[in-house]
Every structure is written in structure tokens, then in C-alpha cells.
């Protein structure tokens, strides 16, 4: 999948680095900022966005040694996911005239092979 950054966007990139001889990732990452070469973001706004992105990078570093920060953010992330899942339609839905259920696939549905 390829994503092209639009002129009104700025991106925070995470790249896995440090692989062992078997291709297993060590957990180490590199981060970067990317933006469209013809950005339409005003300089003042760009400054604020870069500030936010560099804070994200610093957070990734702090969470490695501060369990409280990690646990707090993990708990909040889980709460956000739970709230989003409650907004989604159910995965199963009764369909008149069928003996079973129809499965609705979503972005969160785990499948094997082609679905």
C-alpha cells in the first residue's frame, strides 16, 4: 500500500531498524518527518505541527524507561479503541431467510488468506 502525502499534510514516519541475522526486529526504530514538496501549510502552523511531531518522537523515547507514562498511554489507547469499536455496527447481523449469520468484514476483522 502506498500513501502520497498531500500538500496540506505533514507525516510522522516510523521505520524499524536493527534486525538480527534471522531477520527478527530488535524493537529499535528511527523516526522522521515528511511533507509534500509543495506544502500549503502556513509557516506558523507548520511550526506547531513540527512541535507536535517532535513531541511524539520524544514520547517514544520516554516510554522505553518510564513505565507510568507507557501504562497511562496504553490504557488511554485501549479506551479509545473500545469507544471506536462500540460505534461500529456489529460484526454479525441476522439476515431474514438465512439459516446462519452473515459476517460483515471491517478493518478490524482478522482473516486468513484472501477475504
Q: Domain total for the chain?
A: 1
Q: Is 84 a domain residue? A: yes
Q: Is 105 a domain residue? A: no
Q: Is 115 a domain residue? A: no
CA dist 19 and 28 (Å) reads 9
Over range 16-42, report the average pLDDT. Answer: 92
pLDDT of residue 111: 65
CA dist 31 and 89 (Å) reads 35
Joined together, the cell numbers standing for residue 18 give: 536493527
pLDDT at 92 over 70: no
> Any idea of the CA torsion for 33, 35, 40, 45, to the nearest 10 degrees?
-10
Question: Which range marks the domain in which residue 70 is found?
Answer: 10-94
pLDDT > 70 fraction of the chain, expressed in percent and rounded? 77
Over range 101-112, report the average pLDDT. Answer: 63
CA dist 44 and 11 (Å) reads 17
30: enclosing H helix or E strand: strand 29-35
Residue 85 CB: number of other CB atoms within 10 A?
Answer: 11
Amino acid at each position: 500500500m502506498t500513501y502520497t502525502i498531500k500538500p496540506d499534510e505533514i507525516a510522522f514516519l516510523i521505520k524499524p531498524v536493527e534486525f538480527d541475522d534471522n531477520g527478527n526486529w530488535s524493537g529499535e526504530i528511527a523516526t522522521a518527518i515528511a511533507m509534500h514538496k509543495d506544502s500549503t501549510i502556513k509557516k506558523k502552523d507548520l511550526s506547531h505541527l513540527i512541535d507536535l511531531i517532535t513531541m511524539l518522537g520524544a514520547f517514544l523515547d520516554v516510554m522505553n524507561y518510564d513505565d507510568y507514562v507507557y501504562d497511562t498511554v496504553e490504557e488511554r489507547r485501549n479506551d479509545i479503541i473500545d469507544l471506536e469499536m462500540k460505534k461500529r455496527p456489529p460484526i454479525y447481523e441476522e439476515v431474514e431467510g438465512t439459516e446462519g449469520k452473515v459476517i460483515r468484514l471491517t478493518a478490524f476483522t482478522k482473516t486468513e488468506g484472501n477475504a
